Amino acid sequence: MGRDWTQLKKPQTQSNNSRDIERIRIDGAETRVRFVGPVMPRYVYWVVTNEGKKYPLECLSFDRETEQFNSSRDPIKELPDYIYSEKPQFAYICNVIDRKDGKPKLLDLKTTIYKQLVDYATNPDYGSPADPDNGYDITIKREKTGPQPQNVKYTVMPSRNTIPLTKDEKDMELFSLDTIFKRQTYEEQKEWLLKNTTYFTEEVAGDLNSTEGMEDL
């Protein structure tokens, strides 16, 4: 499952692999990667766990295949947004080959990076950066623009030439996005929140456990 790069639109855990999940961090001046396989669109809310860590819960109303939110005429049961601690955000994710060490890793796409990638992917002069034979490397430049952590600018630059995947790269075992990011049901989200967070008061927890009025959440 996932979306081909050329079909994407701009936004209006546990692995089945024996190896540990590796993520690539864009924390240097430049990061060069080769995209492989499809991209998974997600939209997540953030909560704080009992351990004080931020944890994403997926918005169930967001359709991964169409990249659209279900309309109010076709409502999907979902937890109320007031329980979450931070503003929700798009959380697109994909497999890439890290050109530093040649290993497959997961890349969480920031919105500004994602939008630039879609521009190239939907441009016939470039096409999908993940195409096995006609794809190309991507260099992501990171520039600090101010004193705050969020004061960062990302610029995406495609390589001038196509870079076909080698046989070894085509045979690489990628991380299974469907397995790692298996979507929880409404009931699974509710159960996880009650077990792993201290946000809820007894009254809120009682409301969530009650069957009355669930269709309104």
pLDDT band at 198 (very low <50, low <70, confident <90, very high): confident
DSSP structure class, residue 23: B
Please report the beta strands in the chain, taking only residues with DSSP state E, as ranges in sequence order.
30-40, 43-48, 54-58, 62-63, 68-69, 86-90, 92-98, 103-109, 137-144, 152-158
At CA 87, angle to CA 82 and CA 89, rounded to 5? Answer: 125
pLDDT mean over 68-79? 74
**In this predicted structure, what is the pLDDT of residue 211?**
39
Q: What is the pTM of this model?
A: 0.78
Identify the three-state secondary structure at position 45. strand
- Is the per-residue pLDDT at 71 higher than 80? no
At 136-165, the pLDDT tens digits run: 999 999 999 999 888 899 999 999 999 999
Q: Residue 81, class by beta-carbon neighbours within 10 Å (0-12 exposed, 13-18 middle, 19+ buried)?
A: exposed
At 25-42, the pLDDT tens digits run: 888 789 999 999 999 999
**In this predicted structure, what is the pLDDT of residue 72?**
63
The rounded distance, in Å, linking the Cα atoms of 37 and 93 is 11
Q: What φ, ψ does residue 77 adopt, rounded to 5°?
A: -60, 125
Identify the three-state secondary structure at position 129. coil
- Is the per-residue pLDDT at 213 higher than 90? no
The rounded distance, in Å, linking the Cα atoms of 79 and 216 is 9
